[in-house]
Amino acid sequence: MKLLFVIDPLAGLKAYKDSSVAMMRTAAARGHTVCTTEARQLFIQDGYARAACAMLEVRNDDDWYSILHTDTLTLKDFNAVVMRTDPPVDTDYLLATHLLSVAEANGARVLNRPSCLRDFNEKLAILNFPRFITPTLASADAALINTFLEEHLDIIVKPLTEMGGSGIFRLTLADPNRNAILETLTQHGRRAIMAQRYLPAISEGDKRILLINGSVVPWALARIPKAGETRGNLAAGGTARVQALSARDLVIAETIAPWAREQGIFLAGLDVIGNHLTEINVTSPTGFQEITAQSGHDVAAQFIAAIERNCSNSIHI
């Protein structure tokens, strides 16, 4: 197969932990052609979505890739186009999804579907499953958020478009900076944010559970906050611990998995704290390498095998 990965600049990817690198290494090991491009290199010409693409030689060491050659290619001529550009989901990101929708209309198989990347905000998507979530408010109104805080006493507030724990704050009534924090996050009442009741179970880890084309990966990556921190994100200094899914984790994952597949979400990363779903990540879910290293379950192999089963005949010439 011929696969195109739409990713952030190659030089910035960390080979020892990046899930996109794991995908590309596995694809190459299974005999597939691996090409990459960046969102800014997508364009439409004569009605077709195209991109400036680099064909890679992919290796297993730290010096993990070489560019064999570059060319302008039409996206429909790939078996699959894997969108792995990291948030923020800003104007540039959304415009890239529109270009990918043209590719899809041309006949390309884009994973995840561009419409899903636009329609399912990673924070707000949990509202599709109210029975699994903690009390939650989405608003730009500081007065409403303060009322929510008065009701729940201890809350988390976070922007709707960031990743890696960026912009997340824990607020209590005693916090002298809470009004300044809310003003900053909401841009003085112009931008909605999310507020959720604080979950003490974060001390046991923010669990990442992966769904691949409707199947549940049987291991979770629990991201344990460092001392004095409320965020478990690895980017915020959290420690990775892989563990088998609990009975509650399985209920949540097996409920969401068929829904995700139906929506065109080929890869999703659920975030679960204790017994509560907190996010449904659809842009560039991570955790492949940590889960594989600690459990022996090869997540990248599961992902590429799913592409092989579903996309091997998807080229439209």
Decide if 126 is inside a domain.
no
Indicate whether 7 and 60 sit together in one domain: yes
Of 178, 198, 218, the domain-final residue: 198
pLDDT digits (tens, 9 = 90+) for 167-224: 999 999 999 999 999 999 999 999 999 999 999 999 999 999 999 999 999 999 999 9
Indicate whether 106 and 49 sit together in one domain: yes
Indicate whether 207 and 174 sit together in one domain: no
The single residue of 123, 178, 197, 207 carrying the catalytic annotation is 123
231 is catalytic: yes
pLDDT beneath 70, residues of the chain: 228-236, 314-317
The single residue of 112, 121, 233, 281 carrying the catalytic annotation is 281
The confidence score (pLDDT) of residue 317 equals 38
The confidence score (pLDDT) of residue 316 equals 46
The single residue of 50, 231, 249, 290 carrying the catalytic annotation is 231
30 is catalytic: no
Structural domain boundaries, residue 213:
201-281
Place of tokens 């990918």: 100
Q: What is the mean pLDDT of the chain?
A: 94
The confidence score (pLDDT) of residue 165 equals 79
Of 177, 198, 219, the domain-final residue: 198
The single residue of 84, 178, 197, 223 carrying the catalytic annotation is 223
Decide if 288 is inside a domain.
no
The number of distinct structural domains making up the chain is 3
281 is catalytic: yes
Indicate whether 192 and 249 sit together in one domain: no
Decide if 166 is inside a domain.
yes
226 is catalytic: no
Burial call 269-294: b when 16+ CB within 10 Å, e when fewer: bbbbbbebbbbbbbbbbbbbbbbbee
With a pLDDT cut of 70, the percent of the chain lying above it is 96
Q: In whole angstroms, what is the distance from residue 10 CA to residue 15 CA?
A: 10
CATH number at residue 227: 3.30.470.20
Please give the model's pTM, rounded to 2 decimal places. 0.93
CATH number at residue 68: 3.40.50.20
Decide if 130 is inside a domain.
no
pLDDT digits (tens, 9 = 90+) for 268-301: 999 999 999 999 999 999 999 999 999 999 999 9
208 is catalytic: yes
Indicate whether 194 and 214 sit together in one domain: no
The single residue of 18, 38, 104, 271 carrying the catalytic annotation is 271
The single residue of 25, 113, 158, 207 carrying the catalytic annotation is 158
SS3 73: strand
Indicate whether 6 and 86 sit together in one domain: yes
123 is catalytic: yes
Check if the beta carbon of residue 283 is closer than 8 Å to that of residue 120.
no
